[in-house]
Structure formats: structure tokens, C-alpha cells
């Protein structure tokens, strides 16, 4: 057995292992999963000299408190996160987007995300995890992935298989930009809604509800009136789809979404805004802004170039 | 044939095969699904066949709407020879411990418990699609006099194995999940098994399913045989 391991003192609210997720499984009912905020996931891995598709620990709101035992390793946290690192005689306030070296007996205490939802803890190691369909991503709904598909729990020990030999300390200056306008492409049932409903969708503010998780984000606001049918024949969904059920409150499908749904689709969030969308915490205001397909494609290309550029500078 | 192709967001194709739900349209959907799945087009990362639609999602870093649409429009969808389609018998226990909504169904359909079970059991149902939750099969079609709407307030927890009805369809809850279908019974079979990565689903689109009734004792002993 490995002599390097983590003990979970406090698990946090929704702490899971995530990686790039799994594909080619929608037809059997299994969604992508994977890190919610892909850009912060990639940066976290780069900061500790990992392969970019390595497993990280994702947390939401309150993060885990972890004690490390073993030889020296690097760690880094990305997102907008308040945390501390406790060493033998000192406790330092941690900074995101910087890697730290931790050694036997050190503790990482992730207190909370700041006006955002998800944060990422990467360690310069290979965790000893079970993979299902080439991914260790935990889908707590279907109990798929590492840790028997369950979120991390207090008292648990996580073994590390391998430790990176490259222990270079890295740092980058990245600031998570917040946006209020989420760009959307018209959905396949856009015409199911009244003229007034369509106007409300693009012009009014919606509030992110507390009933939001890795599966979906529920919104509250003025009701969007359906004039055709509040149900459609069930069909496939993808992440970012905005469904409006009979009660008129939109639900946005997120990474662990059900693969099939029967509510009309008013819009789909443009891929360029997905990472920022998932970071909007309950109570945040959202406004939707329509863009066309070709603009969405161009904007995503630019976003992707920016991500690659950020990674190459680390 | 595909009647219309449009975009679902910026990373998926929405292929519309028509508005009706029937075996012949669904067979077309499955034909395209199987053909595209086998060809492994670079960038396509998921296919979701449903009653009368096929959603093809792709990695926007590798391809785009125009390329995938062009590919799908020019594809020669092969008639799958149904070598993969199976006929399955699913044991179901309709003891009152499990048939939570049979009274409700009786009131809506104006049928006795016995008549409901007689109408439902020992008939062939076609698997149109699987999904929503992992491995859940959508089976049809129920007789006209067996069709009821879903519950007005969905249950927060539907037990694993529940066999349930809504409109012209039956399904099986592959694990505990929220849901609003009318529950008629429960199967002791594992309809989804994530440890079998090659074939996690017992029932796949195109398969035929027959429900056979078992007693409560048979149900209890089922997994001990």
C-alpha cells in the first residue's frame, strides 16, 4: 500500500473527484459529468505539473479540510476560494492560482468559495481511483465513477498511487470574470412561448435558485407563458439546454443532467459562457442575451484560444 | 428519413424524424444512430436517439455544425439487421407492497386491478429509447385503454426496480430517483449494472420486452437462486 495519503477531516458540502468526464454514453442515459468549470479545472492541473486530464477534487461552497501524510507534493487551488494551509508551526492564508509544497502532517482547510460555486484542488499526484468508462468523475445521482459514485465523506482515507517528480512551483495571475449576461441560442421549441414570454426571457432578470446542483440550475423570476404545450415527446438533452416546465420557471441543464427530457426548450446556453454560468451562486441575477450560431462558434473559438494561452503561460 | 436538421445550441445537431411516435419512425432513428455510432466521426461525442428525434452532440473544439450536418446529410444509413435486438422477459411483482398507483390507475382508467394487470402483462413492448436516468427503458405501446397522465406531484423517491406507466409508455426505474410515473409493480432484475462497462443496460433500443408476473415469495427469493 502507498505511504502517501489524504485523510478527510471535513468533507465539505459536495466534494467529488472530477476529470474531463465521459462521452459516448448519452444513449444509455449517462451524462458527461466531469469538472463543471472546465477552465479552472485545466489551470489547476497545470499549476501542479499534472497532465491536463488528471483527476482533481472539486468542491462547492464549503470545501474539504484535508490532512496530508507522505513525502513532499505540490498542491494548488483554483476558482475564487478562501483557504488556509496549516504547517507545523504556522498557518498561512492561501492564494488561488499559486502552487504550494505540502509535506507530512500539513493540512489544507478550504473554507469556502467566494460569491461563486465551484473550486478545484489539484495535487501533483496520481490518486488511486476506480475509473468507469475512462473517467473517475463521480456522478452521485447514478453512483458512477470513483469512490463508488459517492461524494467524499468525513474520516475517509484517499491513497495516492504516484507522486510527480516535477515539483516546480507555479503561479499565474488569473481573475475569474463575472458576467450577468448569459448568451443563448434560440431553442428548438422557442415558438411554444407567447410573444410576452419571449420578451420576458430576453429582457427580464432571473434569480438563481437554491435548488441548483451539478444536474441543473433552477431559475426564479417572471413566469414564461407557454401557448402551445407544456410537454413535448421526450427527447435528448445536452448541457446548457434551458427547459421551461409548466410552472414557467426555467431550468438549465448542467453537467450531470438527465439525458432525456420532456419540457419545451426555449434556449441553449452558448458554450463560451458555460464555465461562468456554473459559477453563479444562488441569489445571483441572470439576464439572457440572444446570439446566433455563427457568433457563438466564433466566441467559443476565442474563449478556447484564451484558455490555451493562459495554460501556456503557466 | 430525417425530415429536418437544425442546431441545438452550438454543439449539437437536432435531427427531426417527424412528430408521431411509432415503431417505424423510431426504427429510422435507431438506424441512423447505429450507423453514425459505428462510423466514429471525429468530433462527435454523443448520440441520443429518442422516439422520433436524434441528437448528435459534438466537441466544438474539433468540429462544428456545418461539418457535422454535411456529414449526416450524406450518410448512407444502413438497415441494421437487428442482430443486436433481443427479446427479453422481465419478472415483475405486482403485490400491493409495490403497486402503489394501481388504485389511482383503476380510478382514471375505470378498470379493475385484475383487468389492468391482464392488459399489461404478457404482451410485447418495444424499447424506443433508454435514458433520463442511466439505463431506464422507454417501452411502448400500451393499449389505448391503459393510458394515464403522470402524477400531478412527482414522487421525490421512486424505489429502484419500479415498473411504471405514463401515456402510451412503460418504464423501469433503474435506481432510486425522483419520478412521476404511475407505479404498477417492481422487478428484482438489475436493469442497469455499471460494473459491466460493455453492456451496462439490460434493455436497449430496438429490443422487445414482455412482463411476466411473479409472486412476492418468488420476488424475495429471486436473487438467491
Residue B54 touches partner A, C-beta closer than 8 Å: yes
Nearest to A238 among B11, B138, B194 (CB): B11
User: Measured between beta carbons, which residues in chain A are less than 8 angstroms from residue B131?
Assistant: 26-29, 236, 258-260
Sign for the pseudo-dihedral over CA of B172, A243, A231, B2: negative
User: Measured between beta carbons, which residues in chain B are less than 8 angstroms from residue A26?
Assistant: 46-48, 55, 57, 131
Residues A29 and A147 grouped into a single domain: yes
User: Measured between beta carbons, which residues in chain B are less than 8 angstroms from residue A27?
Assistant: 33, 37, 46-49, 129-131, 205
> Are A141 and B177 a contacting pair at CB < 8 A?
yes
User: Measured between beta carbons, which residues in chain A are less than 8 angstroms from residue B177?
Assistant: 141
> Are A234 and B138 a contacting pair at CB < 8 A?
yes
What pLDDT sits at residue A213? 95
Query: What's the average model confidence in pLDDT over A300-308?
Result: 97
Nearest residue of chain A to residue B133 (CA atoms): A29
Domain boundary, last residue among A163, A189, A223: A163
pLDDT digits (tens, 9 = 90+) for A233-267: 999 999 999 999 988 999 999 999 999 998 999 99
Q: Is the pLDDT of residue B73 over 90?
A: yes
Give the start-to-end residue ranges of the domains of chain B: 4-73, 87-224
Nearest residue of chain B to residue A189 (CA atoms): B8
Q: Is the pLDDT of residue A301 over 90?
A: yes
Supply the CATH number for residue A257's domain: 2.40.100.10
Nearest residue of chain B to residue A256 (CA atoms): B133
Q: How far is CA A39 from CA A34, A45, A98, A271, in A?
A: 12, 10, 15, 12
Residues A141 and A59 grouped into a single domain: yes
What is the pLDDT confidence band of residue A2, given thresholds at 50, 70 and 90? low
pLDDT digits (tens, 9 = 90+) for A7-50: 999 999 999 999 999 999 999 999 999 999 999 999 999 999 99
Residues A32 and A159 grouped into a single domain: yes
User: Measured between beta carbons, which residues in chain A are less than 8 angstroms from residue B50?
Assistant: 233-236, 260
Rounded distance between C-alpha atoms, residue B62 and residue A314, angstroms:
24
Query: What's the average model confidence in pLDDT over A197-220?
Result: 96
Q: Which of B5, B7, B134 to mutate to test the interface with A (most CBs of A within 10 A)?
A: B134
Residues A137 and A219 grouped into a single domain: no
Residues A141 and A255 grouped into a single domain: no
Residue A203, domain extent = 181-312
> Total domain count for chain A?
2
Residues A216 and A257 grouped into a single domain: yes
Residues A96 and A210 grouped into a single domain: no
Mean pLDDT rounded to a whole number for chain B: 93
Q: Is the pLDDT of residue B80 over 90?
A: no
pLDDT digits (tens, 9 = 90+) for B82-113: 556 899 999 999 999 999 999 999 999 999 99
What is the pLDDT confidence band of residue A231, given thresholds at 50, 70 and 90? confident
Rounded distance between C-alpha atoms, residue B163 and residue B185, angstroms:
5
What is the pLDDT confidence band of residue A180, given thresholds at 50, 70 and 90? confident
DSSP SS3 for B33: helix
pLDDT digits (tens, 9 = 90+) for A132-179: 999 999 999 899 999 999 999 999 999 999 999 999 999 999 999 888
Residues A302 and A188 grouped into a single domain: yes
Q: Is the pLDDT of residue A209 over 80?
A: yes
Nearest to A26 among B14, B131, B194 (CB): B131
Query: What's the average model confidence in pLDDT over A101-110?
Result: 97
Residues A292 and A191 grouped into a single domain: yes
B4-73 and B87-224 have identical folds? no
What pLDDT sits at residue B223? 83
User: Measured between beta carbons, which residues in chain A are less than 8 angstroms from residue B8?
Assistant: 187-188, 238, 241, 265, 268
What pLDDT sits at residue B225? 63
What pLDDT sits at residue A246? 87
Domain boundary, last residue among A131, A163, A195: A163
> Are A271 and B11 a contacting pair at CB < 8 A?
yes
Residue B128 touches partner A, C-beta closer than 8 Å: no
Nearest residue of chain B to residue A25 (CA atoms): B46
Residues A269 and A126 grouped into a single domain: no
Residues A195 and A290 grouped into a single domain: yes
Query: What's the average model confidence in pLDDT over A118-142?
Result: 97
Fold of B87-224: Cyclophilin (2.40.100)
Fold of B4-73: Gyrase A; domain 2 (3.30.1360)
In a domain, A294, yes or no: yes
Domain boundary, last residue among A102, A135, A163: A163
In chain B, pLDDT over 70 holds for what percent of residues? 97
In a domain, A153, yes or no: yes
What is the pLDDT confidence band of residue A278, given thresholds at 50, 70 and 90? very high
> Are B47 and A233 a contacting pair at CB < 8 A?
no
Q: How far is B208 from chain A (nearest CA, A)?
A: 16
What pLDDT sits at residue B47? 97
Residue B14 touches partner A, C-beta closer than 8 Å: yes
Q: How far is B198 from chain A (nearest CA, A)?
A: 9
Cβ neighbourhood burial of A3 (10 Å; 0-12, 13-18, 19+):
exposed
pLDDT digits (tens, 9 = 90+) for B165-206: 999 999 999 999 888 899 999 999 999 999 999 999 999 998
Rounded distance between C-alpha atoms, residue A123 and residue A121, angstroms:
7
Beta-bridge mates of residue A120? A58, A78
Q: Is the pLDDT of residue B29 over 90?
A: yes
User: Measured between beta carbons, which residues in chain B are less than 8 angstroms from residue A142?
Assistant: 133-134, 175, 194
What is the pLDDT confidence band of residue B154, given thresholds at 50, 70 and 90? confident
Amino acid at each position: 500500500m502507498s505511504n502517501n495519503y489524504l485523510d478527510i477531516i471535513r468533507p465539505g458540502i459536495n466534494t467529488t473527484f472530477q476529470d474531463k468526464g465521459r462521452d459516448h454514453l448519452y444513449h444509455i442515459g449517462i451524462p458527461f459529468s466531469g469538472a463543471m468549470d472546465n477552465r479552472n479545472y485545466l489551470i489547476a492541473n497545470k499549476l501542479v505539473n499534472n497532465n491536463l486530464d488528471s483527476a482533481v477534487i472539486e468542491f462547492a461552497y464549503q470545501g474539504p479540510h484535508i490532512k496530508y501524510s507522505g513525502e513532499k507534493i505540490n498542491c494548488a487551488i483554483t476558482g475564487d476560494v478562501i483557504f488556509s494551509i496549516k504547517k507545523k508551526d504556522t498557518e498561512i492564508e492561501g492564494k488561488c492560482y499559486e502552487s504550494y509544497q505540502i509535506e507530512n502532517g500539513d493540512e489544507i482547510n478550504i473554507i469556502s468559495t467566494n460569491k461563486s460555486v465551484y473550486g478545484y484542488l489539484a495535487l501533483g499526484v496520481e490518486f488511486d481511483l476506480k475509473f468507469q468508462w475512462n473517467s473517475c468523475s463521480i456522478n452521485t445521482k447514478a453512483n458512477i465513477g470513483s469512490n463508488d459514485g459517492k461524494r467524499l465523506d468525513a474520516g475517509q482515507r484517499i491513497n495516492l498511487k504516484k507522486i510527480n517528480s516535477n515539483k516546480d512551483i507555479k503561479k499565474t495571475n488569473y481573475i475569474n470574470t463575472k458576467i450577468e449576461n448569459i448568451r443563448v441560442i434560440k431553442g428548438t421549441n422557442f415558438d411554444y412561448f407567447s410573444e410576452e414570454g419571449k420578451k420576458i426571457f430576453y429582457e427580464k432578470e432571473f434569480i438563481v435558485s437554491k435548488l441548483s446542483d451539478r444536474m441543473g440550475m433552477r431559475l426564479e423570476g417572471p413566469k414564461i407563458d407557454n401557448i402551445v404545450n407544456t410537454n413535448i415527446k421526450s427527447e435528448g438533452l445536452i448541457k446548457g439546454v434551458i427547459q421551461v416546465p409548466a410552472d414557467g420557471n426555467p431550468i438549465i441543464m448542467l453537467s450531470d443532467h438527465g439525458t432525456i427530457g420532456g419540457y419545451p426548450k426555449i434556449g441553449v446556453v452558448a458554450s463560451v459562457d458555460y464555465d461562468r454560468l456554473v459559477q453563479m451562486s444562488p441569489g445571483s441575477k441572470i439576464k439572457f442575451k440572444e446570439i446566433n450560431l455563427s457568433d457563438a462558434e466564433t466566441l467559443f473559438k476565442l474563449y478556447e484560444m484564451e484558455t490555451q494561452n493562459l495554460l501556456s503561460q503557466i | 428519413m430525417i425530415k429536418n436538421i437544425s442546431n441545438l445550441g452550438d454543439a449539437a445537431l437536432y435531427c427531426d424524424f417527424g412528430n408521431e411516435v411509432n415503431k417505424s419512425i423510431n426504427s429510422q432513428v435507431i438506424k441512423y444512430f447505429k450507423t453514425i455510432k459505428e462510423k466514429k466521426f471525429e468530433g462527435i461525442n454523443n448520440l441520443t436517439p429518442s422516439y422520433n428525434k436524434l441528437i448528435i452532440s459534438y466537441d466544438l473544439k474539433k468540429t462544428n455544425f456545418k461539418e457535422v450536418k454535411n456529414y449526416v446529410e450524406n450518410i448512407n444509413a444502413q438497415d441494421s439487421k437487428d442482430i443486436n435486438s433481443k427479446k427479453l422477459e422481465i419478472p415483475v411483482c405486482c403485490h400491493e407492497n409495490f403497486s402503489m398507483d394501481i388504485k389511482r390507475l383503476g380510478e382514471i382508467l375505470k378498470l379493475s386491478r385484475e383487468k389492468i394487470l391482464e392488459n399489461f402483462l404478457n404482451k410485447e413492448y418495444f424499447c424506443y429509447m433508454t435514458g433520463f436516468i442511466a439505463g431506464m427503458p422507454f417501452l411502448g405501446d400500451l393499449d389505448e385503454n391503459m393510458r394515464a397522465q403522470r402524477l400531478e406531484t412527482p414522487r421525490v423517491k421512486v424505489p429502484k426496480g419500479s415498473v411504471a406507466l405514463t401515456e402510451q409508455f412503460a418504464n423501469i426505474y433503474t435506481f432510486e430517483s425522483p419520478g412521476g410515473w404511475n407505479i404498477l409493480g417492481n422487478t428484482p432484475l438489475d436493469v442497469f449494472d455499471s460494473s459491466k462497462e460493455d453492456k451496462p443496460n439490460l434493455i436497449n433500443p430496438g429490443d422487445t420486452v414482455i412482463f411476466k408476473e411473479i409472486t412476492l415469495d418468488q420476488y424475495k427469493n429471486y436473487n438467491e437462486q
